[in-house]
Amino acid sequence: MIADLYVRVSTDEQADRGYSQRNQEEVLRKYCEINSIEIRDVIYEDHSAKTFNRPKWNKLLQNLKKHKNKIDLVLFTKWDRFSRNAGDAYQMINILRKLGVEPQGIEQPLDLTIPENKMMLAFYLAAPEVENDRRALNTFHGMRRARKEGRYMGYAPAGYVNRVKEDGTKYIAFDQPEASILKWAFEELSKGIFNTEQVLSMAKEKGLKASKNNFWRAIRNPLYCGKIVIPKYKDEDLSYVTGQHEPLISQMLFYKVQDVLDGRSKTYLPKAITTKPFPLRGFFTCPECAKILTASISKGRTKYYPYYHCSAGCKYRINSDTANEVFINNLKQYVPIPEIKNLYITVLSECYREQTKEIYEEKLKIIAQLKDYEKRLSHARDLLATQQIDALDYRDMKSDYGAVIKRLELKLAGINVDDQDIDEILKVGVENLLKLNEYYDSGDWSQSRDLIGSIYPENFTISENEFRTTRINEVLQVIYLINSRISTNKNGTKKTFSSLSHVVAGTGLEPVSAAADMSPPVFVLK
């Protein structure tokens, strides 16, 4: 008897199950020695057994067709080395028999002339696949159980790093400085001033190492607010559990960012990003064609000159230093008069307390909605208990009502109308406003642009050294009104505090129009 030995192992099998070509060859050679079988050749295959489209097997088959009756057997250790598909295996067995060759698994010997043994062959072929599927299923359920316990599975996301405790328990911890940068990115996105690409660009300048896709996945991932996602599986709905890891941000901040990303939150116009000499870029429009101005640095004979200029074919341009001076002087119009800062505190305090009435109403509305949905959920339980609805309908209702209740609870948690320290807060705020232009001038580039975006919700322009804009921040509008009326009073017009307070408070910190009978100032650089 003459045989060819077929030794097959795939890379994953060798790693996961300890198969090796050397081990198989030793077993096969020993078998041939015991049974007085001559070995013609040893074929080594590193390929999957899902099909017979394997390089070394095809070469063996061509050799058998070319040199018929040279060998009697093709030997392998187990039938799963031969194939893992019953249909393909039967077909290949018939091809080999026509060539006068009998395939045989020495550890699972079968006389295939007996019809019943074909059932055993099917079992031998399927058993390894069943074993693999079972192992994969056990792994899946193990990971799902771990997630339900609040453990993060897999490679740590951006801002976190994988760690192992002394007892071998795996966990994730903050990876600085990326964690702090990501937290900053969430805070910036929640403001709605800059779009996602702009925040990512600024974050990269701070040292964040993340692609656009990874960053997008990160800001959508509830893991950062301490939640682990449990994916939907069979009759289990998608759910969230509290993670064992330390959250990077609060749930309130996370859902606020989601609202901004989904367009459910009011956002200002996107602002372009540029280098530090041009903090006004993206807010600054051409006075001739209304296009957003770009910026560049021109080389002179002795030095470089920064300019804002139009890229739409207009010839308008303005020196960056000149534009910045016009902007700062305009900003000074909204700095409170230091001598009467207590008046600002009192007026703004009255406005705050007036506005909290609406917040209280909103709180009561949310509480009423919560009670309504909790009542609905309780009614659904009663219907299930009395068999008026089935378990599937109840799960759907529980999932829908539960999601609404959770969102309402988060909204309720975010409502704070405690004004015990409001006067102290306003005192600090007014002190900061007294240094408004200093903050802009001394802050870093990102802080300066944040300040611009918060003060001017809409773009502005400068023409012939005149600063113009259609709208400013409502609080600063109030301050400008007070400043203007105090100035008028100094010139001889009598204005009582009560009338001043009434006019400002009556606006509710909304944009003032006819009530004030004034428009935002235009500052002319002299």
In this structure, are residues 224 and 249 in contact, taking their beta carbons and an 8 Å threshold? Answer: yes
The CA–CA distances, whole Å, from 92 to 36, 76, 78, 114, 439 equal: 26, 15, 16, 17, 81
> What residues contact residue 481 under an 8 Å CB cut-off, 6+ apart?
503, 504, 512, 516, 518
DSSP assigned state of 67: S
* pLDDT at position 13: 52
Q: Which residue's structure tokens are 């449990």?
A: 230
* pLDDT at position 224: 93
* pLDDT at position 153: 83
CB neighbourhood size of 432 (10 A): 11
User: What's the rounded Cα separation, in Å, for the pair 152 and 157?
Assistant: 10
> What residues contact residue 111 under an 8 Å CB cut-off, 6+ apart?
117
DSSP assigned state of 263: T
Q: What is the pLDDT along the chain (526 residues), one digit of tens a residue?
A: 899 999 988 655 554 444 577 888 888 999 999 999 999 999 998 877 778 888 999 999 999 998 888 899 999 988 888 887 777 888 898 899 889 999 999 988 888 788 778 788 887 777 766 666 677 777 777 788 888 888 888 888 999 999 988 888 888 999 999 999 999 999 999 888 788 888 999 999 889 988 888 899 899 999 999 998 888 887 777 788 888 899 999 988 898 888 888 876 544 444 434 445 677 877 888 888 888 888 887 777 777 788 888 877 777 888 888 888 888 888 887 787 777 777 777 777 777 777 777 777 888 888 899 899 999 989 988 888 888 888 888 888 888 888 888 888 888 777 765 555 677 777 777 777 777 767 676 666 667 777 787 788 788 888 877 888 877 877 777 777 777 777 666 555 444 444 454 444 444 333 333 333 334 444 333 3
- Burial class of 436 by CB neighbour count within 10 A (0 to 12, 13 to 18, 19+): buried
Q: Which residue's structure tokens are 């990160």?
A: 218
pTM summary value: 0.38
Helix, coil or strand: residue 317: strand
The CA–CA distances, whole Å, from 80 to 12, 96, 130 equal: 14, 17, 12
* pLDDT at position 32: 94
Residue 5 pairs in a beta bridge with: 42, 75
CB neighbourhood size of 126 (10 A): 16
Among 413, 365, 369, CA closest to 255: 413
Residue 231 phi, psi dihedral angles, 5° rounding = -60, 155
Helix, coil or strand: residue 295: strand
In this structure, are residues 199 and 189 in contact, taking their beta carbons and an 8 Å threshold? Answer: yes
User: What's the rounded Cα separation, in Å, for the pair 214 and 220?
Assistant: 10
In this structure, are residues 439 and 382 in contact, taking their beta carbons and an 8 Å threshold? Answer: no
User: What's the rounded Cα separation, in Å, for the pair 225 and 242?
Assistant: 9
User: What's the rounded Cα separation, in Å, for the pair 308 and 319?
Assistant: 6
User: What's the rounded Cα separation, in Å, for the pair 65 and 98?
Assistant: 10
User: What's the rounded Cα separation, in Å, for the pair 241 and 278?
Assistant: 46
Token duo for residue 16: 């996961």
Token duo for residue 317: 């341009």
Q: According to DSSP H, which parts of 284-340 are helical? A: 320-331
In this structure, are residues 341 and 476 in contact, taking their beta carbons and an 8 Å threshold? Answer: no
Sign of CA dihedral 487, 491, 497, 500: negative
Percent helix, strand, coil in the chain (nearest 5)? 50, 15, 35
In this structure, are residues 182 and 203 in contact, taking their beta carbons and an 8 Å threshold? Answer: yes
* pLDDT at position 277: 60
User: What's the rounded Cα separation, in Å, for the pair 526 and 519?
Assistant: 21
Task: Say whether the peptide bond before residue 520 is cis (omega within 30 degrees of 0).
Answer: no
Cα Rg of the chain, angstroms: 38
User: What's the rounded Cα separation, in Å, for the pair 210 and 218?
Assistant: 9
Task: Say whether the peptide bond before residue 231 is cis (omega within 30 degrees of 0).
Answer: no
> What residues contact residue 297 under an 8 Å CB cut-off, 6+ apart?
277, 304, 305, 306, 307
The CA–CA distances, whole Å, from 210 to 189, 328, 356, 357, 467 equal: 16, 36, 41, 44, 39
In this structure, are residues 226 and 247 in contact, taking their beta carbons and an 8 Å threshold? Answer: yes
User: What's the rounded Cα separation, in Å, for the pair 451 and 319?
Assistant: 21
Host H or E run for residue 2: strand 2-8
Residue 40 pairs in a beta bridge with: none
User: What's the rounded Cα separation, in Å, for the pair 410 and 255?
Assistant: 9
Write down how long the chain is: 526
In this structure, are residues 271 and 449 in contact, taking their beta carbons and an 8 Å threshold? Answer: yes
User: What's the rounded Cα separation, in Å, for the pair 180 and 160?
Assistant: 10
